[in-house]
Amino acid sequence: MNPIAMAVVLIVSMVSFYQCTHDEELFAGFPVVHDFQNLQQLHDTLTLNDTVGLSISDPTIENIIQGTQGTKLIIPANSLTLPGGGEATPPFSVSMLEIFKRGDMIRHNVQTFAGQSPLVSGGVLWLQIKDANGATLALNGVQAVLPYRTNASGYENDMQHYTGTNQSAPSGSQIVSWGAGSSEVTYNAGAGVSGEFTIATVSNGWNHAASPLQIPDGQATQFSVRVPNSSDFSQTEVFFTMNEFTTVAALTSVQGDAISTFTGTVPTGAQGKLVAISLVEGALHFGVLDVTVSGDDEFSVSVQPGTVPEFQSLLSAMN
């Protein structure tokens, strides 16, 4: 190659190298493949196989069916009908979900609050009954008997019926919260292994036997939580589980770089766990902190990367 041609090749190479090293798109790296696009998708993954399917072949007789965790449905003869009239076509399919443990409430994005009032849980039931054509049926006088498997000492005879409502978290996921139901809840201390709660009439959807948490005068307080190594609360959730009772709070009030409980909804001296869940570039991160509430506390929980099975194991241990 003669000197002139070599010089031309050198100049072209230098210009090309300069353009390449200054092209941000070329050096932006490969697109990040997110494990989860949002926290709702994470909750859906955590609860994928929890719903139990049962069947009713003859609805003209009384049917008593039982879920895997001991909840019984007592279904009177001919009590399942089409909402708008007309004959429902058997067999009927029953989908049931039972929740008694604090960790399972977090997995399902369920808290034990009615508005801004904390509840002590006696058990949660989600229910849907359909006929052979896929029509959701009206439940007329269907009872649910829940085994006493929660921490509700002292509240057993104060249980009330609540039905589910949705509350939006700062992350955009939907938290199951509660509104007053219309049924009666009774407690039978001598039934089952350690007692049973009977909800006189349940409906399709979420049903909850629970009692308002009584906080002594002068002991109602609140606290806030920072998650310093997460970006913000659009990709981060924080739950508080109380040790003494089955009471779970999803923190939803963002104040600067912290998220807080509702004012006056936690008793001073309460002990429990903070569970922080965060998506960092779509990957699951979580952290747990044991706390004692002194009043107007400011806690800090760092999250670390972990797998879904690891997180499932952590939550399964939270009774």
DSSP structure class, residue 55: E
Q: What's residue 33's pLDDT?
A: 54
Cis peptide before 228 (omega within 30 of 0): no
Q: Which of 65, 81, 192, 181 is nearest to 124 (CA)?
A: 181
Whether residue 289 is predicted with pLDDT greater than 70 in this model: the reply is yes
Least confident of 24-33, 88-97, 254-263, 300-309: 24-33
Q: What's residue 262's pLDDT?
A: 96
Q: What's residue 12's pLDDT?
A: 45
Whether residue 24 is predicted with pLDDT greater than 90 in this model: the reply is no
- Strand 92-99 relative to strand 72-75, pairing: unpaired
Band of pLDDT at residue 20, cut at 50, 70 and 90 = very low
The pLDDT tens digits for 96-142 are 999 999 999 999 999 999 999 999 999 999 999 999 999 999 999 99
Q: Summarize the confidence of residues 149-171 as an average pLDDT.
A: 96
The pLDDT > 90 percentage for the chain reads 84
Can you give the residue ranges of every domain in the chain? 42-212, 216-316
Q: What's residue 8's pLDDT?
A: 42
Q: Which of 244, 222, 238 is nearest to 295 (CA)?
A: 222
Whether residue 3 is predicted with pLDDT greater than 90 in this model: the reply is no
The pLDDT tens digits for 224-257 are 999 999 878 999 999 999 999 999 999 999 999 9
Q: What's residue 85's pLDDT?
A: 77
Fold of the CATH domain 216-316 = Immunoglobulin-like (2.60.40)
Q: What's residue 87's pLDDT?
A: 84
Q: What's residue 45's pLDDT?
A: 94
Any idea which residue has 């997995």 for tokens?
107
Separation between Cα atoms, residue 149 and residue 191, nearest integer Å: 13
Whether residue 149 is predicted with pLDDT greater than 70 in this model: the reply is yes
Whether residue 34 is predicted with pLDDT greater than 50 in this model: the reply is yes
Q: What's residue 231's pLDDT?
A: 77
Separation between Cα atoms, residue 71 and residue 146, nearest integer Å: 5
The CA-CA-CA angle for residues 176, 178, 184, to 5°, reads 135
What average pLDDT does the structure give for the chain?
Answer: 91
Any idea which residue has 């429902």 for tokens?
88
The pLDDT > 70 percentage for the chain reads 89
The pLDDT tens digits for 294-315 are 999 999 999 999 999 999 999 9
Q: What's residue 84's pLDDT?
A: 83
Is 2.60.220 the CATH number for 42-212?
A: yes
Q: How many CB atoms lie within 10 A of CB 17?
A: 10
DSSP structure class, residue 209: E
Q: What's residue 15's pLDDT?
A: 44
DSSP structure class, residue 280: E
CA end-to-end span of the chain, whole Å? 79
Band of pLDDT at residue 89, cut at 50, 70 and 90 = very high
The neighbouring-strand residues paired with 80 are 139
Q: Summarize the confidence of residues 41-67 as an average pLDDT.
A: 95
